[in-house]
Amino acid sequence: MKEDQKRMPLYEAILEYNEKSPAFFHIPGHRYERGINETWREKVGDEIFKFDLSETPLTDDLHHASGPIKEAEQLAAELWGADYTHFLVNGSTCGNQAMVVTASHGGAKIAIPRNAHKSVLMGLIIGGGKPVYIMPQIEPEWGLHGGITPGQVEEMFRQNPDCKGVLVVSPTYYGITSDLEGIARVCHAHDAILMVDEAHGAHCYFSDKLPKGAIEQGADMAVQSIHKVTGSLTQSSMIHIKSDLVTKNLLEANLTLVQSTSPSYILMTSLDCARQHMALHGAEMIDRAVELSDDARERINRIPGLSCAGKELIGRAGIHNLDTTRLIISADDIGITGFELKKMLFDEYDVEVELPDYRNVVAIVTYANEQEEIDKLVAALEDISRRFAPEGEPLPPGEKLPPQPDYVLSPRAAYFLERERVPWVETRGRIVAEMIAPYPPGIPVIYQGERMSAEVWDYIEAFRQRNGHIHGPSDPTLSTLLVIKE
């Protein structure tokens, strides 16, 4: 570790500013802690509010960084192995948007996985890019979306030689990674940019026990939610660039397009401090998370009727590697859906897990978890097993996805054209204005701008009939749907 990594340039600049403590006729109007609601101040303490500053001669400007913000970003670039890095104050959401708008500049084609985060679609709406969808394979035992393979990307380029970039989500929410090295090779052979939505992977760079990071594997750009598992505050993220293919000025202009002109100094300082923490202690922090999660996995797999996925997934459905700090827990053998399991754990056992789907829940383990929390999770699952295993029947398997419907309009065109709300039963043959993703498996079966086919309609209707979970439409009952006025 280089000596400089001990520094926290933005944190230090703010301390210096507070030392000077000038008479304040600038925004924000709360003037350090003085103007903050007393009740909140009493609870939280005064110091944090002194970090809520804005652009001043000592504190730099995110959009034209040349002082402590720039230094802090350079230290982050060095730590994550990038040429340069930008701090983000609107999460990986804005990083994905800027990345997509940059790679699809001028309405170019880019490839995205069918299950990309909605910020990717927003990027296409903002920038007018044309998506080519790549369908991740489904891992049948757990009903998980697998990875994207270099072979799929090669085939995509064969059919779309004009494609300018490929976006891969790696790791996914479930910790599943794709073969990024292989995909980078294919992309670069076609002069295309590899973008990685690495929202869930900033910690992977700090341990040999985890998959390698995207930048280490040849990605041109990677967006990371530092707030997710590496200790910064919610909404603070980073985008790292290591590439000759990315036009720097264009990316910077696009970051300005999607971020506030008043970025939060609390969030940016939290990025600076989290980077220093990871630089100094990352290896031991991540090892601790791996140990805690390995312990949990082993114990959960001994509980009758419950299971927790592990490295046996590698090699299936394009799954290249697995971040084992994600606990994919299933009680489907005893008839409990992931949605029910999450609710039960919270309501009855005071255990909060992250993401539910039809079959599984995902519990995220970090360096900041306590052994007692792992014990509490395991004890709750043991009790659930005692209550439900004797009678429980396995959940029925998910249905096969219908074929991808016809692409008629780009997401941007579909977003801006006039829409109308029509009864669900009248949507066959219409170009839809809303994405629909039934669970399982949570992959959109139709996107904005695609035409509702009979197969997709029947598939969704079957879900609707049995009150299945459907994500996307503004009318959650799906009695109606927004379609393009024709």
What are the residues binding ligand PLP (CB under 6 A)? 91-93, 96, 117, 119, 169, 173, 197, 199, 225, 237
In the bound state with ligand PLP, the residue whose beta carbon lies nearer, of 192 and 199, is 199
Ramachandran sector of residue 384 (left: φ over 0; alpha: ψ -120 to 50; beta: rest): alpha
In the bound state with ligand PLP, the residue whose beta carbon lies nearer, of 91 and 405, is 91
Neighbour count for residue 382 (Cβ, 10 Å): 16
- Residues 173, 480: Cα–Cα separation, whole Å: 30
Long-range pairs of 134-141 with CB within 8 A, sequence gap ≥ 24 = 134/166, 135/401, 135/404, 135/443, 136/317, 136/318, 136/443, 137/317, 137/318, 138/317, 138/398, 138/401, 138/441, 138/443, 139/313, 139/316, 139/317, 139/319, 140/317, 140/397, 141/316
Please give the angle made by the CA atoms of 382, 387 and 393, to the nearest 5 degrees: 105
In the bound state with ligand PLP, the residue whose beta carbon lies nearer, of 120 and 445, is 120
- State the alpha helices, DSSP H only, in 135-264: 150-159, 180-189, 226-229, 248-258
In the bound state with ligand PLP, the residue whose beta carbon lies nearer, of 82 and 100, is 100
Closest approach, Cβ 260 to ligand PLP, in A, equals: 14
Closest approach, Cβ 88 to ligand PLP, in A, equals: 8
In the bound state with ligand PLP, the residue whose beta carbon lies nearer, of 227 and 359, is 227
Instruction: Please name every residue paired with 153 in a beta bridge, in sequence order, or none if there are none.
Output: none
Closest approach, Cβ 193 to ligand PLP, in A, equals: 17
Neighbour count for residue 3 (Cβ, 10 Å): 6
In the bound state with ligand PLP, the residue whose beta carbon lies nearer, of 225 and 324, is 225
In the bound state with ligand PLP, the residue whose beta carbon lies nearer, of 222 and 303, is 222
Closest approach, Cβ 197 to ligand PLP, in A, equals: 5
Yes or no: say if 142 and 319 are a contact pair by the CB < 8 Å rule.
no
Distances (CA, A) of 127 to 85, 120, 258, 395, 478: 22, 11, 11, 42, 29
Yes or no: say if 374 and 353 are a contact pair by the CB < 8 Å rule.
no
**Residue tagged 């255990």 (tokens):** 351
- Residues 231, 270: Cα–Cα separation, whole Å: 8
Tokens for 17, please give them. 């500013």
Pairing of strands 237-241, 84-88: antiparallel
Closest approach, Cβ 12 to ligand PLP, in A, equals: 26
In the bound state with ligand PLP, the residue whose beta carbon lies nearer, of 91 and 440, is 91
Instruction: Please give the distance of CA 299 from its chain centroid, rounded to a whole number.
Output: 28
Closest approach, Cβ 199 to ligand PLP, in A, equals: 4
Closest approach, Cβ 172 to ligand PLP, in A, equals: 6
Closest approach, Cβ 54 to ligand PLP, in A, equals: 22
- State the alpha helices, DSSP H only, in 104-209: 118-127, 150-159, 180-189
Tokens for 223, please give them. 């967006």
Closest approach, Cβ 96 to ligand PLP, in A, equals: 6
Closest approach, Cβ 458 to ligand PLP, in A, equals: 29
In the bound state with ligand PLP, the residue whose beta carbon lies nearer, of 119 and 276, is 119
In the bound state with ligand PLP, the residue whose beta carbon lies nearer, of 199 and 313, is 199
Please give the residue whose beta carbon sits closest to ligand PLP in the complex: 91
In the bound state with ligand PLP, the residue whose beta carbon lies nearer, of 97 and 385, is 97
The helix/strand count (H/E) of the chain reads as: 14, 19
Closest approach, Cβ 330 to ligand PLP, in A, equals: 20
Distances (CA, A) of 290 to 178, 209, 229, 263, 325: 20, 8, 13, 34, 5
